[in-house]
Amino acid sequence: MKYVNAPVIKKDAMALVTGQPVYMDDLAPKNCLIVKVLRSPHAHALIREIRTDSAEKVEGIACILTYRDVPKRRFTMAGQTYPEPSPYDRYILEQRVRFVGDPVAIVAGETEKAVDLALKRIKVTYEVLDAVLDFHTAMDNPVLVHPEEDWQSLCPVGADNKRNLCASGSEGEGDVEAVLADCEIRMDEVYHVKAVQQSMMETFRTCTYLDTYGRINVLSSTQIPFHVRRIVANALDIPKSKVRVIKPRIGGGFGAKQTVVTEIYPAIVTLKTGKPAKMIYTREESMIASSPRHEMEVRVRLGANRDGCIRAIEVHTLSNTGAYGEHGPTTVGLSGHKSIPMYRTEAFRFQYEVVYTNRMSAGAYRGYGATQGIFAVESTVNKLAAKLGMDPVALRRMNIIHEGDIMPAYYGETASSCHLEQCLNRAAAMIGWEEKGLRTVMPDGKIRGRGVAMAMQGSAISNCDVGSVTVKLSDEGTYNIIVGCTDMGTGCDTIIAQFAADVLETSIDNIAVYGVDTDTSPYDSGSYASSTTYLTGMAAVRACEQLKERILALAADKMQREASELCFDGEKVFDEKDGAQMSLFDIATASMCNNEISLEVTYSHSSPVSPPPFMAACAEVEIDPETGAVELLDYTACVDCGTVVNTNLARVQTEGGLLQGIGMTLYEDIWYNEKGKNLSNSFLQYKIPSRLDAGKIRVEFDSSYESTGPFGAKSIGEVVINTPAPAITNAIYQAVGVWIDELPATPEKILRGMKVI
């Protein structure tokens, strides 16, 4: 391997650092109509009258649409493979509004000033209804968020809109109650994780225009181009053949852009007016009407012997999907499937309900439900260690899975590549776990504590996701690769080029990667579920292997030999016996004349398994017992993502994910008032950490080898966000004896736990 496991510079690095026009708003037509929406001031209401006559008189207004002017076809905004498990519970606009911020009317005009004025002139009369704001009371509440008869669930996910139930389910193995009854130690703990924002730098944004053939072209900052095509077609009630989606560079997504947040509104404007249109969310809109992480309450029951042997784990998750069901049925599954399997037990049970409420709908965020479940299970294991008087690292060594173990709670898969214990030992050694101990009182009275946690995730959705790559030899003997996956800053275009370069034995500079355009790119499920390196990467490897075979076949035809007699070294095809050869340039030239062997291959790949990446991490905090202020001094992490493909990108992926997890643990907080209005509507109220807030973050890798992955690789994108919450709260407990069960871990909560206030 020359390029795999090397610090290769990103393919788009120079374009980005030199400010080239690569993002949506750089590329949008200059004559786009500006699109905005009027938003509901009520958490739950019916629109009894809406008057737009005064607004329509504003100079420069091209279009005002209400629920009377749009198709009446249910759809979901969740970017998932069809048939989507998320319910079809939306119209573009509807007479019923379900949260503060729900769209009421769409306004399009020639200038932002005209649109803002028109929005103020729209007069709406509402019948305010009772709202369901507490997700604990949502199920079987007499107030229904979705009472409509045309609500539809395409998949059997245990949904019932007449119970405010978006999904529900239960699974397990063994007799949990019997094992718990036989255990010497029983834990029963409840944790609350609020919704948190992805906070990517580039807000949601889309432009749309008609092409020469009258089709709607959608240029959007999205992780899911092919799903966008289907969703836009569904919402507008037009064939998918009438929609083309193009993805430019993306200024961050983290799962937020796995939901079609902005695409529908300019698309309906373009359909109605025939004019180009664009919508760019403000930061406030991105805070109050987007797709944050699901709020979850997770109850963990755990049984163990006094020697520390964990025998049974039960997880019960209550998830708040908000006003609409995007990703509700799927995120909840990871809260159990990615937390329980790290431990060998005699029995497990996982139960869940996902409920509708009159709050902003939730969506996908890095970790996708595993983050909440891992916080709960890992915190309970840390509490068990404290109760037993055991070292939490030693307790984990006794109970964690190893390579070759079957994981019943992870769909019965086998841990075919697992260096979890090695990662645990290495993270502990990095922070000086044995030398420093769990607690240190400093000369100035501040107290330091150390905590630990582990995590796992997955690599694509098994038996579902599809990754595809087209690779072709160009006229001059270089290669063009066309992908359907979405590089959202993570560098997947570069990683695919690394795989291709090593398979084709060429320089990475000889490979150009293009994507994504639904007209020309091969179908790909999209960039989510940690799928691109593992799934699309394997498609790239297989496509390049097949292209090599075709290169040999064409050369054999021209050289009048058998392909089995020839070799390929990346620059030429040659016969070792007599030295006869044909350069790659000559092969490319020969393919253009009197030839029936196409030097172009498209390969699609799916996987029957989703091998988990693993990681372990340790945190060291310092707490001022007088103020409750927490300072994160040191954070050490070790990751098993199989073969590390790009050492630079893997490191910054890990550091970035850890920083997001640190923010969720210590700073980020969403507040609603009693009427359901989100008060955390800017970065003045919603605090995210800078790099200066995180102390030292130190990352290392301990690589297993995953035989089903390209060059032995697994995913890394999501697992890296999951350890900070349980590790840091464990460190807080070790320092001052306070368990934080509801995030974020603020100074006020610490002081209350210490009974100082």
Segment 342-356, tens digit of pLDDT: 999 999 999 999 999
Detail the DSSP E strand segments found in 527-680: 566-568, 572-575, 581-583, 600-605, 614-623, 630-640
Residue partners of 453: CB distance under 8 A and separation at least 6 = 374, 378, 382, 616, 617, 722, 723, 724, 725, 726, 727, 730
Banded model confidence at residue 692, pLDDT cuts 50, 70, 90: confident
Q: Residues 447-455: what's their mean pLDDT? A: 98
pLDDT value of position 260: 98
- What are the CA-CA distances from residue 664 to residues 197, 332, 464, 653 (Å)? 9, 18, 30, 17
Residue span(s) of the chain under CATH 3.30.365.10 come to: 132-196+292-415, 416-459+610-757, 467-605
Q: What is the pTM of this model?
A: 0.97
Residue partners of 627: CB distance under 8 A and separation at least 6 = 747, 751
pLDDT tops 90 at residue 323: yes
Check whether domain 13-129+198-288 has CATH 3.90.1170.50, yes or no:
yes
What sections of 526-595 are H helices per DSSP? 537-559, 584-590
Angle at 690 between CA 686 and CA 696, to 5 degrees: 135
Check whether domain 416-459+610-757 has CATH 3.30.365.10, yes or no:
yes
Banded model confidence at residue 676, pLDDT cuts 50, 70, 90: very high
Q: Residues 304-315: what's their mean pLDDT? A: 98
Banded model confidence at residue 1, pLDDT cuts 50, 70, 90: confident
pLDDT tops 90 at residue 417: yes
What's the CATH code, domain 467-605? 3.30.365.10
Pick the CATH number of 132-196+292-415 from 3.40.50.720, 3.40.190.10, 3.30.230.70, 3.30.365.10: 3.30.365.10
Banded model confidence at residue 640, pLDDT cuts 50, 70, 90: very high
pLDDT tops 90 at residue 298: yes
- What are the CA-CA distances from residue 20 to residues 25, 30, 44, 435, 495 (Å)? 12, 17, 44, 50, 22
Q: Pick the closest to residue 299 from 182, 180, 388, 187 (CA basis).
A: 187
What sections of 72-175 are H helices per DSSP? 112-121
pLDDT value of position 489: 86
- Other CB atoms within 10 Å distance of the CB of residue 394: 12
pLDDT value of position 691: 79
Contact 199, 688 (CB under 8 A): yes
Segment 647-673, tens digit of pLDDT: 999 999 999 999 999 999 999 999 999
Segment 108-166, tens digit of pLDDT: 999 999 999 999 999 999 999 999 999 999 999 999 999 999 999 999 999 999 999 99
pLDDT tops 80 at residue 756: no
pLDDT value of position 240: 97
**Two tokens, residue 529:** 């579920």
> For the chain, how many helices (H) and strands (E)?
19, 29
Residue partners of 344: CB distance under 8 A and separation at least 6 = 310, 399, 400, 401, 405
pLDDT tops 70 at residue 517: yes
Residues in the chain: 757
Angle at 224 between CA 223 and CA 227, to 5 degrees: 165
pLDDT value of position 757: 67
Report strand pairing: 406-407 vs 277-280. unpaired
- Other CB atoms within 10 Å distance of the CB of residue 273: 14
Segment 31-61, tens digit of pLDDT: 999 999 999 999 999 999 999 999 999 999 9
Q: Residues 195-214: what's their mean pLDDT? A: 97
pLDDT value of position 289: 98
Segment 380-389, tens digit of pLDDT: 999 999 999 9
Q: Residues 598-614: what's their mean pLDDT? A: 98
